[in-house]
Amino acid sequence: MISMKIEKFKMQYYYEVMELWKRAEIGVGSSDTKEEIAGVLNRNPNLFLIGREDGKIVAVVIGAFDGRRGYVHHLAVAPDYQKRGYGKIILDELIDQFRKKKVHKIHLFIVKTNHEVVDFYRHLGWDTRDDLIMMSYVPDKELYKRNITFED
């Protein structure tokens, strides 16, 4: 039986969450340093969530709202807890938070070849967009290139 409790992320959970992301094979990068994570948390204090069971963090998701659209980043469930309903529970809680903020639409990005995750979201009612192309631009290449380590 699932007894996961959802909590707001706090900076003191940073290293445990980084471990979880790595174990779940989430690609962490220059936007995941302590400083950057503190920044996204400060802007979205109610949308950055963790799920805890038996004292351990077993799920995490970063929700973000830019004033127009909602975004889901880095949703992950600990590998030994996957496929048991945890991902849906934490995502549903985030969607409730977006609903409270009257967000009209939520977007997320998945590496194209990650069919499993695409299928997971499709199963939960998310649509893939064939009418759009995502484009990106790096305004500061030094900033973006910076590798992160646990000493960050």
Ligand X SMILES: CC(C)(COP(=O)(O)OP(=O)(O)OC[C@H]1O[C@@H](n2cnc3c(N)ncnc32)[C@H](O)[C@@H]1OP(=O)(O)O)[C@@H](O)C(=O)NCCC(=O)NCCS
Q: Which residues bind ligand X (CB under 6 A)?
A: 24-26, 75-77, 82-88, 110, 114, 116-117, 119-120, 123-124
| Cβ proximity to ligand X, 127 vs 140, nearer residue | 127
**CB distance 46 to 8 below 8 Å:** yes
The neighbour count for residue 81, using CB atoms within 10 Å, is 19
**CB distance 48 to 40 below 8 Å:** yes
Helix ranges, the chain (H): 14-23, 34-43, 86-100, 115-123, 141-145
Q: How far is the CB of 142 from ligand X (least distance, A)?
A: 26
Distance, in Å, from the CA atom of 17 to the CA atom of 14, rounded to the nearest integer, reads: 5
Q: Which residue is nearest to ligand X (CB)?
A: 87
Q: How far is the CB of 71 from ligand X (least distance, A)?
A: 11
| Cβ proximity to ligand X, 28 vs 142, nearer residue | 28
**CA-based Rg of the chain, rounded to a whole angstrom?**
15
| Cβ proximity to ligand X, 13 vs 86, nearer residue | 86
Q: How far is the CB of 53 from ligand X (least distance, A)?
A: 12
| Cβ proximity to ligand X, 13 vs 140, nearer residue | 13
